[in-house]
Amino acid sequence: MRRKHIAAIMITSALLAGCGNSGVKPANSLANTTPMQSTPSSAEVPTGEKTAAGTSQTAETSADGISGTADTGTSATAGGTVTIDLGNASEGSPATISDPEDLSFLTEFIYDAGSKKEYTVTETITTKASSFDQMEEYDEAHAILLNLNGSGLDITTGAAVSNEAKENYISEAIVMEGNKICITKSGTYILRGSLSGGQICFRGSTDDKVQLVLDGVDLSCTSGAPICFESGDKALITLAQGSVNHVSDGIDSQEKGCIFSKIDLTINGSGSLEVTGVRNNGISCKDDLKILNGTISVQSEKNALKGNDSVVILGGTITLSSKDDGIQSDKKEDPEKGFVYLDGGTIDIKADDDGVQAVTALVVREGTTVNIRCYDKKFNCDNYVEVPDSLK
């Protein structure tokens, strides 16, 4: 992957309120959405004390239950650090510059448009790995970086545009909603660091795609999915090379999975990902769930991997431990959905129910290593089943 030096402008938010028993209003109501906006310059700020290190302000809001201090105590470069005061941010559209620069390249992705691969599941069912699915490269100069610091974040863009344009682009792309950090624009977002008691959420329009790069993160939330994709076209999680990433939820979570997506979700990359689903599924997707590579470990209270429409694994080293099925796809209404297709990689499954369960088709291609220990059936599908004899 390509990484370039960043002439950074940093935006520091107020501390995220924890999700658990912190008294935070549930972050599932769009009525509480608060766009991120820049505060006035230090000369115009009525509160806060200016020091040699910078300006410090206290941000409070009862509507979202957020309180904390946003501190700009870092050295400024080319316009300095901008403090976001969530307590004074107004609802509605964020401020925009009068003559905005063209920032369209921030939504461009690095992939080979001709690299789509198609796979035959049955005579009537096919699946594919699109160019977007296979995209592992990213350029930090064309990305937004979310540097997590335990209970808050610094947001930086490496775009080679003016500071004002950067600030306004970020104010449109990132929205704070209770304990959620909501991404609202297409593009590549790189996550680093730890976050306890918060959620990273993508909420895009119908045509929006997002690449979420996990580059050494530890995310936990007791009352929701630490990573969720609520709307958009497609979502891609890329595990950065050499990175180790941990994601866990809690007993109070109301989501369907520790990582939960309402849109097509693909996982790729050469890093590692450890998922602990305490309440429900480990990785759950209402549409198509694909894994292309990576080292992935999932422990879950219910299904380890669930894709309502399909689960497709084309590579990687995957270890699953579940109290329900190891892998499940259960959509019954569409004869071309509800299938599981395994074509590559090494998959180890320990399940208290079925190892792999599907509705319309269950196909395992030669060359795929699957080791299953389960209390019910290794491969369970009432319709089309194609599994090498060596795995039965």
From 306, 271, 255, select the one nearest 190 (Cα to Cα): 271
φ, ψ for residue 276, nearest 5 deg: -125, 110
By the 8 A CB rule, do 278 and 254 touch? no
Side-chain-facing half-sphere of 315: CA atoms under 13 Å: 11
The dihedral formed by the CA atoms of 217, 86, 235 and 338, expressed in degrees to the nearest 10? 100
By the 8 A CB rule, do 273 and 214 touch? yes
Distance CA 107, CA 129 (A): 21
2: DSSP letter: B
Q: What is the CA radius of gyration of the chain?
A: 22
Burial 116-152 (b: 16+ CB within 10 A, else e): eeeeebbeebebebbebbbbbebbbbbbbbbbbeebb
Q: Supply angle C-alpha 294, 371, 330, rounded to 5.
A: 75
Strand partners, 296: 273, 318
Tokens linked to 284: 């759950």
The pLDDT of residue 70:
31
From 39, 38, 15, select the one nearest 178 (Cα to Cα): 15
pLDDT (tens place) for every residue of the chain, 392 residues total: 444 333 333 433 333 444 433 332 322 332 333 343 333 333 333 333 323 333 222 223 222 322 232 332 222 222 222 232 223 333 333 333 334 456 666 777 877 766 899 999 999 999 999 999 999 999 887 788 888 887 777 887 665 445 666 767 777 888 888 778 899 999 999 999 999 888 999 999 999 999 999 999 999 988 889 999 999 999 999 999 999 999 999 877 778 899 999 999 999 999 999 999 988 999 999 999 999 999 999 999 999 999 999 999 999 999 999 999 999 999 998 999 999 999 999 999 999 999 999 999 999 999 999 999 999 999 999 999 999 999 98
Tokens linked to 59: 């941000």
Residue 207 burial (C-beta neighbours within 10 Å; 0-12, 13-18, 19+): exposed
The pLDDT of residue 198:
86
Tokens linked to 369: 């290593």
φ, ψ for residue 122, nearest 5 deg: -135, -175
The pLDDT of residue 255:
80
- Type of residue at 91: E
Distance CA 85, CA 89 (A): 6
Strands 66-71 and 54-61 turn out to be: antiparallel
Distance CA 94, CA 88 (A): 13
Burial 21-35 (b: 16+ CB within 10 A, else e): eeebbebeeeebbbb
φ, ψ for residue 331, nearest 5 deg: -75, 125
The conformational region for residue 364 under phi > 0 = left, psi -120 to 50 = alpha, else beta, is beta
Distance CA 10, CA 8 (A): 6
From 146, 276, 271, 159, select the one nearest 210 (Cα to Cα): 146
Tokens linked to 240: 């950065």
Burial 295-313 (b: 16+ CB within 10 A, else e): bbbbbbbbbbbbbbbbbbb
Give 129-163 as a DSSP string. Answer: E-TTTT----BGGGEEEEEEEES-EEEEE--SS-H
The pLDDT of residue 124:
96
The pLDDT of residue 388:
95
Q: What is the pTM of this model?
A: 0.78
